[in-house]
Amino acid sequence: MSTLPFDPSSSHAAEKVHAEIERVIGKDRPPRYEDRKSMPYTDAVVHEIQRFGNVLPSNLLHQTKEDTTFRGYHLPKGTPVIPLLTSVLFDKTQWETPYEFNPGHFLDAEGRFVKKDAFLPFSAGRRACVGETLAKMELFLFFTALLQRFRFHPPQGIRSEDLGLSSLPGLTNLPRPYELCAAVC
């Protein structure tokens, strides 16, 4: 859990994304959201960044809509609950390598993108984020446009392992500041 998710020295994810961008989009035109269907690896990397980044570890206050039994505990209708999204995003029964950055979590054996029920960075149910569709579109376009034009690496003398992915505590997981270099492709 100590390397950047798109660092070529860690899992070659960046190189695979660069190759997919070159094959599908090229360097001359900007990415379009429709490109996502032809770019399963890039889509998987964006999803894994969201899962692994775990920006909102706990959800907003909800309540049970009916009497519920959860792990042997009775929760009467109307009981306030705060879902912990972290418990799903890092659940060992849902993810092959929950504490490692692994775009393969979202790919089948043939390399096609696969939706996962345990992927809940925007919450779930009626109170899921209303901006989820827009956010997913913007994340894909922004990420793809950046990697279409740049290759990212740590500053000279700093190893990617030294950058880390620990976050600052709070309602959301805020990334710690660090320097990163962008070289034009």
**Contact indicator for 143, 116 with CB cutoff of 8 Å:** no
Q: Is 185 annotated as a binding residue?
A: no
How far apart CA 150 and CA 182 sit, in angstroms, is 6
How far apart CA 88 and CA 39 sit, in angstroms, is 26
**Contact indicator for 13, 46 with CB cutoff of 8 Å:** no
**Sequence-distant (≥ 6) Cβ neighbours of residue 162 within 8 angstroms:** 154
| Buried-exposed string 39-65: b where 16+ CB fall within 10 A, e elsewhere | bbbbbbbbbbbbbbbbebbebeebeee
**Contact indicator for 25, 141 with CB cutoff of 8 Å:** no
How far apart CA 118 and CA 121 sit, in angstroms, is 9
Residue 64 structure tokens = 């049970």
**Contact indicator for 95, 27 with CB cutoff of 8 Å:** no
Q: Which residues participate in the annotated binding site?
A: 129
Q: Which residues participate in the annotated binding site for heme?
A: 129
